[in-house]
Structure 1
């Protein structure tokens, strides 16, 4: 079992007490594709997988035991302004976690593709709190602008109903791109190249015939993720989606990502679960 750097109350206290100045961002990796982002005016969770729902609902031949211990009890995370779910796969929209966050963050909104709305309502999120993301149409929430864009996760319908999305989140000074699950595509590259990205979160767990035969939709390999990040000119890249389920990852994905990133002089940050990353646009680097 991989142990987070911080767990429970110490992690919650660090998130709450971290002061974020204009032009800066604090981020904590939660494992799998999950993050907490703290902007100067808002705290956001993206794709938090904090329970064991995949193991509970997926039987043989699937093995979804956690490799990384959950850093937080979602029932204790009560400072969110926004939840983002990139799509409705259970490791990105985990029912028990999303239900608990809805109950504990009464003033928070949730942004997700239209295909997630029915599930979100069933988990207790009222329709008025749900913002369905139409690719390319910005959603303004307080000082933040959240823009979804269609991504290929095997299937790719580049229209309003696309069930898989990546997201750009910006306060006008710092911009984060979270790619959810995806394969490479020129349309995604064009979107990501259109504006400066200070932090790019990209999956690296890859794909193969065995996983495809079991129904796993493919993701970028470590080398593809590196090349994409280099192409779009991300200031800092953070790999994700490599530390939760042994059955759906290239076991050497992280090591290969490091080698590939160094080979092209890509600026990247590998964060432990529960580790704080500080991004300052003026500095142009992770600290």
Structure 2
């Protein structure tokens, strides 16, 4: 399968007010957030569409002011079947986004890590009957969308008091393809084998890296651009969308660097996420990395 970029032909809010189609289509929401359509279903993963972190960290060393506005209001994203969170950090499980998004989509289920149950209920405001939980190594089917969870290390492989992993990657089987969102992660022992076993068609990997300054302020990092490209290549994933940049000035990579690195990659085929594009897979072009 070959990754295809298409400029949006209308505002994102208008696009997401319409029902999802059969073909796989992804739209970036900024940071780690994506809308993923396919097979007549719509999933939203890690949406951060508010300024809740700016409010939380006002006056602090890293004030979390947005470099880019939210591309759509959460209550304007319609026809959602499944909302997913990879972990409980606010830019992935956001109290400023989830209540409005889930209220506008009363039939949608919220999927969160087992370690994040209480945070998911508190921040979303949903009834527990609408919450599904998952742990690394588990799989489930929700509204016709298959989900498999893997471990993630942000920056360590952490577990809660009950032994559940705090950080997850989530692979979605939707629209005839497997899309793997790694969650926030750095490389760790056993990662390659877990990711390769997914046989994913498309990877969504963070590329904002990590450094001592962020670590000194308690801000964990992610894969570097080189690490993201290497993981996709070695795991046999033919296509990659690089994300988790352009939102906070203390935790980003210059867009020209992301575009240069992804544009020069032959394996995997890689692009830098943009809110002005929709992404799909040409399923007539079967190109899997060796």
The reply to whether TM is greater than 0.5 is yes
Question: After the TM superposition, which segments of 4 or more aligned residues of structure 1 sit over 3 Å from their partners?
Answer: 15-21, 157-160, 251-254
Q: Deviations over 1:36-91 (max 9, x none)?
A: 00011310101111111110101311121111111111122231100000111111
Which position in structure 2 is the counterpart of 1:79? 79
Give yes or no for contact 2:39–2:175 (8 Å, CA) kept in 1. Answer: no
Identify, as 1 or 2, the structure richer in helix: 1
The reply to whether residue 65 of structure 1 matches residue 65 of structure 2 is yes
Partner SS state of residue 230, structure 1: helix
Determine whether 1:231 maps to 2:234: yes
SS at match of 1:216: coil
Say if 1:102 and 1:125, in contact at 8 Å, map to a contact too.
yes
Q: CA deviation at 1:16?
A: 4.7
1:266 maps to 268
* Matched pairs, number: 277
Superposition CA RMSD, Å: 2.3
Structure 1 residue 6, shift from structure 2 partner: 6.1
Q: 2:178 — aligned with what?
A: 175
Alignment match of 1:252 (pick from 237, 254, 267)? 254
Mapped contact 1:230–1:264 kept (Cα < 8 A):
no
Query: Mind listing any 5+ residue stretches in structure 1 that lack a counterpart?
Result: none
Q: Which is worse superposed, 110-119 or 276-285?
A: 276-285
Q: What's the counterpart of residue 153 of structure 1? A: 154
Q: 1:254 to 1:224 in 2, by over 3 A?
A: farther
Answer whether contact 1:226 1:261 (CA < 8 A) is retained: no
TM-score normalised by the chain length of structure 1? 0.88
SS in 2 for 1:248: coil
Within 2, Cα distance between the matches of 1:135 and 1:20? 30
Q: Superposition pairs for residues 265-284 of structure 1, below 5 Å?
A: 265-284=267-286
Give me the whole-angstrom Cα distance separating, in 2, the residues matched to 1:241 and 1:92.
11
Q: Measure the CA separation in 2 of the matches of 1:260 and 1:27.
A: 18
Measured against aligned partners, the alpha-carbon deviations of 1:6-41 in whole angstroms (never above 9, x if no partner) come to 69x8323323547633xx410001110000000113
Distance 1:198 1:125 in 2: 32
Write the distance in 2 (CA, Å) between the matches of 1:222 and 1:107: 37
Aligned match of 2:4: none
Structure 2: distance between partners of 1:19 and 1:256: 29
Give SS of 2:271's match: coil
Q: TM-score, normalised by structure 2?
A: 0.88
Matches within 5 A, 1:104-143: 104-122=104-122, 123-143=124-144
Alpha-carbon distance in 2 for matches of 1:142, 1:104 = 17
CA contact (8 A) 2:20 2:41 kept: no
> Aligned equivalents of 1:50 and 1:260: distance in 2?
26
